[in-house]
Amino acid sequence: MRNLQIKRDFLWYRQLLSHRRLPLSRKRILENYPFYKNLNPRFKKEFEHRVATFIEAKQFKHRYEDHVTDEQVVLVSCVACRLTFGRRNYAYPLLNAVLFFPEPFMSPTNEALHKGEFNPTAKVLAISWPDFKKGMDVTTDNLHLGLHEFTHVIHFESKHSSDIDATRFKKFTQEILRELMKPEVRSKVDATKFFRAYAFTNQYEFMAVLSEYYFESNALFKQEFPAIYKHLTKALLYKKEWILN
């Protein structure tokens, strides 16, 4: 039964009948997205469908301007769908809108400048567009604002949903935290300083930072902390062929 459940979670099982397509102007942006370019034709078709579905389901707004560009809409949607590409539920049901800022913004929750923030009550993800774009363009610093913030969204979902993907993420998050509490693992974390200090703010930030390292330093992450890596792979139900490094 477990093998059957895993089989049913694979992408090829899910989308058999029809696929949404992007208009040409947006498809050109998608075609330059490195993750998409690395996929085989079958997965490219699935990924485009997911990006188009995400765009259709969400609102995209600019805090100070009327116009949101195709680049903003497509790239944010690509990052969201990249993170959930292994999941059956990729639609972020607890997120309704993405709000773009031209720079870091003052958060009403703590009156500090934020580059990104998820408001679960309003179901809005606010992001500084320049910082989001920098996170995409620089792929060797383990700083990716989009992956970080969308991980917050799926982490919050895991606490408030009984969906199979949310349940899986919750289960393996707990496994990761238990692994981290082992003295030998914590000693290695402290000695190597592999993960940046901000990861240890709380469990939400830890999982968000892990996702950045998973996608930007995948091989080294796997080498240094194989158990944590394995748990995160299971949490995301990710396939090796989708990894870029």
Q: Which pLDDT value is given to residue 13?
A: 47
Q: Which of 101, 84, 107 is nearest to 166 (CA)?
A: 84
**How sure is the predictor about 152, in pLDDT bands with cuts at 50, 70 and 90?**
very high
Tell me: pLDDT of 2 over 60.
Answer: no
Beta-strand runs (E) in the chain: 59-62, 97-101, 105-106, 113-114, 116-119, 124-128
Q: Which residue has the higher pLDDT, 18 or 41?
A: 41
Q: Which pLDDT value is given to residue 111?
A: 76
CA distance 211 to 207: 6
**How sure is the predictor about 19, in pLDDT bands with cuts at 50, 70 and 90?**
confident
Query: Mean pLDDT over residues 71-79, rounded?
Result: 98
Q: Which pLDDT value is given to residue 112?
A: 84
Query: Mean pLDDT over residues 75-80, rounded?
Result: 98
Q: Which pLDDT value is given to residue 103?
A: 95
Query: For residue 2, with 0-12 CB atoms within 10 Å meaning exposed, 13-18 middle and 19 or more buried, which class applies?
Result: exposed
Q: Which pLDDT value is given to residue 8?
A: 52
Tell me: pLDDT of 17 over 80.
Answer: no
Q: Which pLDDT value is given to residue 185?
A: 95
**How sure is the predictor about 9, in pLDDT bands with cuts at 50, 70 and 90?**
low
pLDDT in tens, 81-102: 999 999 999 999 999 999 999 9
Tell me: pLDDT of 228 over 70.
Answer: yes
Contact indicator for 151, 207 with CB cutoff of 8 Å: yes
DSSP bridge partners of 98: 60, 125
pLDDT in tens, 43-69: 999 999 999 999 999 999 998 887 999
